[in-house]
Amino acid sequence: MTTLQLDEQGRLRHFLTIEGLSRDWLIRIMETAQSFGSVTAQSVKKVPLLRGKTVVNLFFETSTRTRTTFELAAKRLSADVLNINLSVSATAKGESLLDTIRNLEAMFVDMFVVRHADSGAAHFIAQHVAPHISVINAGDGRHAHPTQAMLDMFTIYHHKQDFEKLKVAIVGDILHSRVARSQIQALKILGVSEIRVIAPETLLPASVTELGVRAFHNLDDGLADTDVIIMLRLQKERMQGAMLPSEHEYFQCFGLTEARLARAKPDAIVMHPGPINRGVEMDSQVADGPRSVILEQVSHGIAIRMAVMALAMGVVQRGAVA
Amino acid sequence: MKQSLIAELDVNGLLTALETCLREQIQARKLENPLMIGIHTGGVWLAEYLHERLEIEEPLGRLNIAFYRDDFSRIGVHPEVRPSQLPSTEDRDIILIDDVLYTGRTIRAALNELFDYGRPRRVILGVLIDRNGRELPIQADCVAAHIDLASNQSIKLTGPSPLRLELHTLET
């Protein structure tokens, strides 16, 4: 199957979305990430895989954590990294997106890592770049954030191994969340037994059940017997849209506390893509508690991003994955 | 392209020869508390045996050079690379073990990786087979057997138990 992100031999050309990838592909990405684990144990935390390659972090929307971990991942693969913050750069001068891309191509770069506020931006760039350039989606609008979803799967895998048995709850602003969308796709591909979304009605898409998930409007009900709890960041800018009464009230209804966590399984893990709004999505007690794997997610983000970059930049040995 | 097996060699005799040579090297060069490192996969199998026979105290290191190969851009990354397991190599005497020394590119990659774990004091190399076809100026300190092969022939170690050396001819 040829898609924009897989070539005719089934190799990864771009990494734009979880959608359409096979279970074998998700496993391959996680296994590759796992094998990069030893790099951080080296005194020289680098492997020479992408030596001489130039990776451009093309961020049309600011993000500290995602950009930093992509930058570190590229550097640990020995690539040269260029960070371009376009929210304040060329586009402000009226340069079109394609002109920006053409100019960077003329500088002989090899990979674009793209973050954009518009859904489909990374796909658009992938359709128009020179054939030797790979595009990685670092989050586009409300559409997808595939490396975040993969690092979340990788974190779950480290704690739970067997995806088929898991009940996973995603809590918060599902409506606006590209993270949730990619997570749901990945969890379905990996075959978890149940995916729940827990949110006020105003923050759930109208067609949410078509995604193959169970919707809850009550946190206590939704958390019962879950193995993994993924809290989403409440984007404060949504407050102005009259979608929520107040942060305080949100916390009262949907904030994760020790007492509420007790509803989940005793070995349930708590995740959050960061940055956390303490006292809004969750209590500090939970965020810093023994069940929280939030900082592990950050470390795994580097390994996953190394894996995706290495897979997209190299021809995958032993051919395609089914 | 098809491979045909044309010979199998006895590994036990060769292993004993390699062990004897390494023992002499350790004494003659006064290697202190040496760290033995096998190169994945064949080198690790041999190193597991030699590590025990030579009574080396330090746990065996395992080196996977997949991320250090010079042909990555041609063949890509193998997804199931087992991570290297190495302590710091800083100021250590190291005995590097591999099955077949051929072009020298594997050893070049292994040395590069070793240096990313520290600056070793000395590195010696022991291999079961030294075959012709070197492309880099690299040689082993201990070799159990030298073999001249045609360029369409290959020799490889299979294992881990039993360990066998297989000689193949590639027929096009």
pTM over 0.80: yes
Residue percentage of chain A with pLDDT more than 70: 93
How confident is the model over A56-64, as a mean pLDDT? 91
**Rounded mean pLDDT, B57-73:** 86
Instruction: Select the residue of B68, B83, B90 nearest A35 (Cβ to Cβ).
Output: B83
Q: Is the bond preceding residue A245 a cis peptide, omega within 30 degrees?
A: no
Q: Taking Cα atoms as reference points, which of A228, A234, A226, A272 lies closest to residue A253?
A: A234
**Residue A242: predicted pLDDT:** 62
The side-by-side arrangement of strands in the sheet containing B153-158 is B2-9, B164-171, B153-158
CB < 8 Å to B78, chain A: 317-318
> Cβ contact (<8 Å) for B85 and A38?
yes
Q: Which residue in the set A28, A43, A48 is minimally distant from B79, CB to CB?
A: A28
Q: Which residues of B14-28 are buried (b: 16+ CB within 10 A; e: fewer)?
A: bbeebbebbeebbee
| pLDDT surpassing 70 at residue B91 | yes
How many angstroms separate the CA atoms of A94 and B80, rounded?
A: 46
Q: With an 8 Å Cβ cutoff, is A42 touching chain B?
A: yes
**By CB neighbour count within 10 A (0-12 exposed, 13-18 middle, 19+ buried), where does B67 fall?**
buried
Q: What is the pLDDT of residue A1?
A: 44
Q: With 0-12 CB in 10 A as exposed, 13-18 as middle and 19+ as buried, what is A8? A: exposed
Distance from CA of A17 to the nearest CA of B (A): 20
- Please tell me the predicted confidence (pLDDT) of residue B2: 62
List of domains in chain A: 2-144+299-321 (3.40.50.1370), 146-297 (3.40.50.1370)
Using only C-alpha atoms, chain B has a radius of gyration, in whole angstroms, of: 16
- For residue B117, list chain A residues with Cβ-Cβ distance below 8 A: 42-44
Residue A114 has a pLDDT of 96
A153 and A30 Cβ atoms separated by less than 8 Å: yes
CA dihedral of A152, A157, A159, A162, whole degrees rounded to 10: 130
Does A87 or A215 have the greater pLDDT score? A215
The answer on pLDDT for A61 being more than 70 is yes
Structural domains of chain B, with CATH: 3-74+82-167 (3.40.50.2020)
- The rounded percent of chain A whose pLDDT value lies above 90 is 70
Here the ipTM equals 0.72
Per the listing, tokens 């292994």 go with B110
Q: Is B91 on the interface with A (CB under 8 A)?
A: no
